[in-house]
Structure 1
Amino acid sequence: MAPRRILVVGPSWVGDMVMAQSLFMTLKARHTLVEIDVLAPGWSLPILARMPEVRRGIAMPLGHGQFGLRTRWQLGRQLAQDRYDQAIVLPGSFKSALAPFFAGIPRRTGFRGEMRFGLLNDMRRLDKRALPMTVQRFVALGLPPDTPQPPPTPTPRLQPDPAGFARLRAQLDLLADRPGVCFMPGAEYGPAKQWPIPSYGELGRRLVRQGFQVWVLGSAKDKPAGDEIATLAGEGAFNLCGRTELADAVDLLATARAAVTNDSGLMHVAAALGTPLVALYGSSTPHHTPPLSDAAQVIYLGLECSPCFKRTCPLGHTRCLTGIGVERVAEALAPALHATAPR
């Protein structure tokens, strides 16, 4: 039998791409023979390479927000050569459905949105109350439309590179005799999702005194925050922001004893590796995008103004995050730090 070929148009955010693995796992479980390709931003290809369910990642040649009708038509004609049986379009935008349409893929599945009638011929209606979580919505698109909701959602499981950490430890001059704790202080969405930098610094100082090393992970944009945290934490803290690729972060998180993180893409990466983590929520809510891991603890104050889903606090105080004390985070972190079976 020829395998069923499915093209998934992937999301633009790191966390969403990790959660999309639950869809890929669902498709593999439903079909005896299936090949899954993912059309996604170029930055996501290293993450897709750590998902055994994905045959290949295909880089989207346009950046976030670019329309590029001619480029999408050309991409569609190239994709037509693979003769896909189905396309599943995860983003809700009009432009994200164009390439599968131009490719002539016979079944094109997605939720109703932005006047996509005709572009999608397997149009689903999204019931946000029945599917409150992003991962549930992704998985639902891989199941028949009459499936009871919410559907079962497999837990994402990224595969680290066994040799990756040894290479990184030498390359980044990390300490060989101390277990690592990862801090992820960034949040691409905005400052209303970021625990205060001085709080990260104080927590880091405590961990260094206890015999741990701290690895601050993030993009080059997070480097100033990482510098401040490393300075406050003292010797034994390493600012790796902008010094590592996304695949490197996977290998560091896979080896870390634990992690402390805002609601961010790297939070979902840590969860998909089974790394014990403490996730701090501010303007967003764990009811919508929780870390999908039994090893995760969530701290969410749930104030009367939460969640607002704003990039910056509309009230100017960000008490949803400043109200989370260092002592509370340290207490939540302690069981993972002192586990008898180190990672």
Structure 2
Amino acid sequence: MPASYDRLRKFRRGVPMVVRALSALLLTDSALSATPRAPMTVENDRPMSRTDFFNVTARRPGDSHSADASDLLNGQLGYSSYAAGGVANLPVLNGMADDRVATIVDGMRMGDGCPNHMNPIMSYVDPDSVSVARAIAGITSVSEGGDSIGGSVLIKRRPLEFSKTHSVLVTGRARGDYRSNGGGSGASGSVTVANDMWSLRYTGSYAHASDYRTGGAGHRVRSTSYLSFNHAVTAGFQKGADAADLTFGQQDIPYEGFPNAYMDMTNNRSSFVNGHYKGAFAWGTLEARGFWQRVNHVMNMLADKGGHSATTGMPMNTDKRTVGYSVDVTIPLSTRHRLMMGSQFFHDGLNDWWPLLWAAK
């Protein structure tokens, strides 16, 4: 075979690779130069790069009435969600979802208790109580949770407020919304009582909707109703470089329809405790966190799918418990070097049973 023909074949082989590389570079540069939407602000002061484009702070737009906290991340590059129930959208990062995406709320790493992922972690958080929502696509650093192929979603509630003087501070906020289609309504609010050292806050939210109707003919779309409650009480202390807080919370969803599934959620109750401490000492800084959560989850069919009693439908029960802690120590060694050490523990226990199968035995 002539040498000139062999060189031509190698050249033709290389052209598609070069074209693909140039196309990817042009598309990437174009995406990085795009201006983020108004509610989004980059968390870093330095210019945006390919490695930190996904680390974005998302704040709830004023015209958004969604009861699902996952909608806070809409518009971020690489992020999407699987629409399911009214408050149960599943986050997706670069096409990966479910257990491939770690969801961490206020330092608590939690997993879905439902085998069908009907109770995603962000459904336990009132969107109005969130101050920061970050979607990190791809490999996540250990400091941000790690151990997730698809990426991580980090949610942080609003920090506690303290009085700037010795006087008592009483403050709060409230929001409500309503839509005619399906009779959807929602409300949320918080009340804080604090001085310069202690702070106590209560936050609560409510969201409800009946089955909505299609446009035009106005046919009812079955299994689109839901009812959700979220409550949390946080007590905090700060003095000098020391700060600590403890949060007790509970979520209750008596029912939530899933129009795209054969099953519905007929009950979901979650209770959790989350404690956090951060302090500075002569030798360095110490940060510690401990948490516990229990989820009681029931799947079955709502009335428009055949009922949800113990003897009809297809009941599936779940009892899930999560417990963990993390300790991080940072010791400065020089003006340029520091030593970071830590310890972390996480346990996730799951018990599933089907009442009809037990009755058959």
User: Could you say which structure has the higher strand fraction?
Assistant: 2
Q: TM-score, normalised to structure 1's length?
A: 0.28
User: Could you say which structure has the higher helix fraction?
Assistant: 1
Greater Rg by CA = 2
Higher relative contact order (CA 8 A, sep 6+): 1
Q: TM-score, normalised to structure 2's length?
A: 0.27
